[in-house]
Structure 1
Amino acid sequence: MKNLATAMALTVAATAACADGYADPIVEPVVIREAAAQSSAPSATLVMVLATLTVFGAALSH
């Protein structure tokens, strides 16, 4: 009889604990910021201009 009473008490306690149902946990979103890389646009532009001048200079010299 003790086992039956213990089992019923545990069942009632477990039912009461889960009576609210499942609730989604409240989690703050993690914001990940990545540092912006230095742009290589000015140096790339300079290389393109020099390459273009070299090609046109070589074409004009022949």
Structure 2
Amino acid sequence: MSASSQKIELHNLPPDLTEPPPDARGWLAWQPLTGKAWRKLDGRWLPIAEANAIVEARKKSQ
């Protein structure tokens, strides 16, 4: 069963995924086995530190 055909649980991503599927619903994803976290920003999944830095930079520029 491919990752796209199985139900993806964003709070418990399987270790074989390098990032959440692009069409996954939600805005936060976590991979407990690896400790990786992602945040969806502007429709793209980014590592959480990178996404948070972009959000902070946007806040400061307003």
TM-score, normalised via structure 1 length: 0.30
> Which is higher, the Rg of structure 1 or of structure 2?
1
Structure with bigger RCO (C-alpha 8 Å, 6+ apart): 2
TM-score, normalised via structure 2 length: 0.30
